[in-house]
Structure 1
Amino acid sequence: MTSLMTAQRLGIEPFAQSASVELFPNEKGAEVEVIIRAIYRQVLGNAHVMESERLVVAESQLKQGNISVREFVRQLGKSELYRSRFFDNCPRYRAIELNFKHFLGRAPESYEEMTAHSALLDQSGYEAEIDSYLDSDEYQQNFGENIVPHYRGFATEGNNKMVGFSRIFQLYRGYANSDKAQIGNGKQARLNREVIQNTVSPIYIGSTGNAIAGTSGGSRGQFYRLRVIQAPKLTRTPQYRVSNLEYLVPYEQLSWKLQQINRQGGKVTSITPA
């Protein structure tokens, strides 16, 4: 997980310090209320929900154990509350990138992903678009039936493209901001240029809005310090060590090194100019 100092600087401290929120069997009352609040916060992009807007029937079904967290997320995603905020009032590609953020906890990784979801909307409609995230193998592998979706893009993961590590910061603007406040008034998708050109996005500091030097273009000859958590392969020995590594990499080799770390199963916790 991202180091505390880096997390504070980037505005992701709440996610760096918190564990996944999961609904366990036989939980009731206040415990389920915590789950419900976490679902609203994630799926509605940290926007405030009035009492009159809450999904009373779905909440009751979840409390009684009749539906899973995944099905509650599905009902919320298909609700008029979600659609009115993040689809009817959004340019199409902005709506799609928000769906990736809210339901899969990451940014789109390619233009092909964006166009595939746009085609699905044309062919099968809005509800099929929501189902495509909830019924995906990716959702099941990361959240299953009872883990509340959460932002995964702040740490690198195996089998995911490295561009997602930087692009999530384009979509996440700090814990105090809401996605509802970032839509409307003709605002376009934030990642259009990056996904079309297949380029890395700048990483912005949440508290200031300033880009970290070098993340979008970089200067030739600039070196970067990568801090990495590298889990070794399992052995027959009883000890299992996780090694903390640090690399000093020139800008020209940065992309290649990040891909190598990803292939080897490492997780990048910070990238800073040396």
Structure 2
Amino acid sequence: MAIPLLEYSRTSQNQRVAGYEVPGDEQPRIYSTENLLSTTDLDNLIAAAYRQIFFHAFAADRERFLESQLRSGQITVRDFIRGLLLSNTYKRSFYDLNSNYRFVEQTVQRVLGRDIYDNREKLAWSIVVATKGVKGFIDDLLNTEEYLEAFGYDTIPYQRRRVLPGRSEGELPFNIKSPRYDAYYRGKLGFPQVIWQTTVRGYTPADRKPKAGNPALFLDMAKSINATGNTPQRLSVQNIDIEKSVPYRSK
């Protein structure tokens, strides 16, 4: 018998408060298959999905088979998101290097587009991970009423209501607020590293840099040459034997 999801209070976060916002550059762009006009739009949609789930996907991290199914219409955007969440890249980068609590927090941010409400919600979904595994947790999260109402089957998840009206700064992006690696694994990997510089670096504007043929370019080379001169001889004229010193040709 499966354990039901632990109840938790849904506090009033930013994305739950309805408000009027004037569209601008800071507003998240919504990618959906309902308004695709060309193959370029589909490429942008796939790239947005990788940014949302992986934050950045290298060529080796791309799921070509899932992309092919999405392009041919065999799967929906929701199925594509599910495939990325169950991929080896996501499991290796997030599940294997974090605790269940942190894994839940990062996955909720990427799938539901919001922060977790409190520790009780984190505990509730952690129980699902422990009892049903990663696959069961992903399926339950994508089947929630909140996900289906916010994104449905055709829209890429995004950070909802990131910009706060009346404030100079909005909510931080999830990849900055919750880095991929936990503090324990960041310490094992050796970052962040403190690098001490022993030399002071300077900056020379381009207009002050010597051009080709300028003697200043050869100044360092001239200084590197260890030129030593001959010491002058200290001889007195009275000690010189002129007859022996002057060369002559014998017959």
TM-score, normalised via structure 1 length: 0.53
The residue identity in structure 2 corresponding to 1:173 is I
1:117 to 2:133 alignment? no
Q: Which residue of 2 aligns with 1:98?
A: 106
* Matching residue of 1:52: 60
The answer to whether the Cα contact below 8 Å between 1:23 and 1:32 also exists between their aligned partners in 2 is yes
Runs of 4+ in 1 over 3 A off after TM superposition: 1-4, 25-28, 168-172
What is the identity, as a one-letter code, of the residue corresponding to 1:136? T
Does residue 127 of the first structure (1) align with residue 130 of the second (2)? no
Residue pair 1:68, 1:145 contacting (<8 A) in 2 also: yes
**Aligned residue type for 2:31:** V
SS at match of 2:75: coil
Question: How far has the Cα of 1:154 moved from its partner?
Answer: 2.3
Give yes or no for contact 1:91–1:186 (8 Å, CA) kept in 2: no
TM alignment of 1:23-42, pairs within 5 A: 23-24=33-34, 28-42=38-52
Quick one: structure 1 residues 30 and 105, their matched pair in 2 at CA, closer, same or farther if it must change by over 3 Å?
same
User: 2:149 matched to 1:146?
Assistant: no
Shift of residue 98, structure 1, vs aligned partner? 0.2
| Distance apart, 1:55 and its partner CA | 0.4
For 1:90 and 1:185, locate their aligned partners in 2 and report how far apart those are by CA, in whole Å: 9
Contact 2:28/2:159 (<8 A) preserved = no
Structure 2: which amino acid aligns with 1:36?
Answer: I
Provide the C-alpha distance between the structure 2 equivalents of 1:97 and 1:28, rounded to a whole number of angstroms.
Answer: 35
Distance 2:161 2:115 in 1: 7
Q: State the shift of 1:133 in Å.
A: 1.5
Q: Which residue of 2 aligns with 1:186?
A: 184
Say which SS state the counterpart of residue 24 (structure 1) adopts: helix
* C-alpha distance in structure 2 between counterparts of 1:170 and 1:23, whole Å: 24
| CA positional deviation for 1:30 | 1.7
Q: Count how many residue pairs are aligned between Structure 1 and Structure 2.
A: 162
Q: CA deviation at 1:141?
A: 0.3
Greater strand fraction, Structure 1 or Structure 2: 1
Distance 1:81 1:2, change over 3 A: farther
Give the TM-score of the pair, scaled to structure 2: 0.57
Three-state SS of the structure 2 residue aligned to 1:17 is: coil
1:106 alignment partner, SS class: coil
Distance 1:147 1:184 in 2: 30
1:13-32, Cα deviation, whole Å (9 max, x unpaired): 86x33431111277552221
> Compared with structure 1, are the counterparts of its residues 34 and 185 closer, same or farther at alpha carbon in structure 2 (3 Å cutoff)?
same
CA distance in 1, matches of 2:21, 2:78: 30
2:34 aligns to what SS in structure 1? coil
CA RMSD of aligned residues (A): 2.9
Counterpart-to-counterpart distance in 1, 2:182 and 2:28: 31
How far apart, CA to CA, are the structure 2 residues paired with 1:116 and 1:20?
29
Paired with 1:86 and 1:126, the residues of 2 have a C-alpha distance of 11
Answer yes or no: is the 8 Å Cα contact 2:36–2:42 preserved in 1: no
How far off its partner does 1:81 sit?
A: 0.7
Deviations 1:117-151 (A, max 9, x none): 11111111111111121111100000011111000
Q: Is the 8 A contact 1:21 1:147 kept in 2?
A: yes
User: What is the aligned partner in structure 1 of residue 30 from structure 2?
Assistant: 20
Contact 1:121–1:129 under 8 Å retained in 2: yes
Bigger mean CA deviation after superposition, 21-30 or 110-119:
21-30
- Gapped regions of structure 1 (runs ≥ 5): 5-12, 157-165, 189-274
Residues in 2 aligned to 1:62 and 1:25: alpha-carbon distance in whole angstroms: 15
Q: State the 1:184 CA deviation.
A: 3.8
